[in-house]
Amino acid sequence: MKNPRLVVAMIAIVACVTVFAENKVEKQTLVYSIENSDTLRLDRYCLTESHSENTLIFAFGGSFKGGERDNKEYIPFFYYLAENGINVVSIDYRTTLGKVPASQLATIPGFVAGLQEAITTAVTDLYKATGYVMANSEQWGVNPGKIVLCGSSAGAITVLQAENVLSNGGLTGVFPDGLNYAGVVSFAGAVCAVGEPVWTDNTCPLMLFHGDADSVVPYDKAVVNNIGLWGSKHISDALNEKDIPHVFHTVMGFSHNVCVKPMNDNREEILRFINEVTSTGTLKNITVISDRAPGVKNYKTDFTLEDYLKANK
């Protein structure tokens, strides 16, 4: 061989490429809880040789009547985050609103009662999934203090509700030493409450995406007799009043498709948020962003609770 150094260099390059190729995203499915006849599973996406401590727990959408943790619309988003060093855990949760009689859901009081029960059940399952991740944190190499929640539509309501409960001191003992989530990312979410939801200085950093023409989950609020859903704009306004850092991203003219749209269009923005809150434990500023859907004019935004009830039948 005329140039042995060249051969050695080529071997080194091939070895590096091989190692990189082997460090792919792998998926592991596990049972995290059994609730009566419901077996709750989670899918874990991570690099085969991942050393990241950051974890994102994802809750799917489906109006609390159905939905899948491995919906094909979510998978590219999961792989993008995993490829960038985030351990992604997409979970099942029980969807009890689908078991409520249609006659009950046809009335506002009946719908609200069924929705409250469904959200409580979903939040309970989310906490159990979080506990499972924490119990396996050493084996998985993740940090319990660097867990970010993320959800779409009903899943976004679930993760926001879970954080609102924790920020107000509810369910003490769920986390060791009062540990909270590192952050929450919500795609078209809201909080269900009697009276305006209270947000405290204990609230972890929130990243909220919502379309102002959403007819399924209210952008601002949909309330009757002080009971109902308080959406992303209302949450952002409440956080602004207390000068609590967060990100609020409005997509003007868009309806409920913002429950998926950011997973494709705002991946880098979301990744930066996750890395910032897990590394620093907070955000520095309040960030309000508005995008406008091209060509959309004179769209409806003044939806009532009755409109949302019809959309969720």
Q: Which residue has the higher pLDDT, 232 or 305?
A: 232
Assigned token pair, 124: 């309970």
Residues forming a β-bridge with 40: 33
pLDDT tier, 304 (very low <50, low <70, confident <90, very high otherwise): confident
Range in 13-17, 44-48, 91-95, 119-123 the model is least confident about: 13-17
Q: Does residue 189 carry a pLDDT above 90? A: yes
pLDDT band at 106 (very low <50, low <70, confident <90, very high): confident
Q: Looking at the predicted structure, is the pLDDT value of residue 194 above 80?
A: yes
Per-residue pLDDT of 55-65, as tens digits, reads 999 999 999 99
Q: What is the pTM of this model?
A: 0.89
Question: How far, in Å, CA of 244 to CA of 271, rounded?
Answer: 21
Confidence of residue 101 (pLDDT cuts 50, 70, 90): confident
Mean pLDDT of the chain: 87
pLDDT at 19: 34
Phi-psi bin for 64: left (phi > 0), alpha (psi -120 to 50), beta? Answer: left
pLDDT tens digits, one per residue of 148-168: 999 999 999 999 999 999 988
HEC per residue, the chain: CCCHHHHHHHHHHHHHHHHHHHCCEEEEEEEEEEECCEEEEEEEEEECCCCCCCEEEEECCCCCCCCCCCCCCCHHHHHHHHHCCCEEEEECCCCHHHHCCHHHHCCHHHHHHHHHHHHHHHHHHHHHHHHHHHHCHHHHCCCHHHEEEEEECHHHHHHHHHHHHHHCCCCCCCCHHHCCCCEEEEECCEEEEECCCCCCCCCCCEEEEEECCCCCCCCCEEEECCEEEEEHHHHHHHHHHCCCCEEEEEEECCCHHHHCHHHHHCHHHHHHHHHHHHHHCCCCCCEEEEEECCCCCCCCCCCCHHHHHHHCC
Q: What mean pLDDT do residues 143-150 have?
A: 94
pLDDT above 60 for 20: no
Q: What is the mean pLDDT of residues 289-306?
A: 79
Q: Above 50 in pLDDT, residue 18? A: no
Distances in whole angstroms, Cα of residue 267 to Cα of each of 36, 64, 84, 158, 277: 37, 25, 11, 21, 16
Q: Which residue has the tokens 């994802």?
A: 58
Q: Say what the pLDDT of residue 14 is.
A: 37
pLDDT, tens digit, 9 for 90 and up, residues 220-269: 998 888 888 999 999 999 999 999 999 999 999 999 999 999 999 999 99
Residue 126, token pair as written in the block = 């989310």
pLDDT of residue 294: 79
Question: Which one has a higher pLDDT value, 166 or 89?
Answer: 89
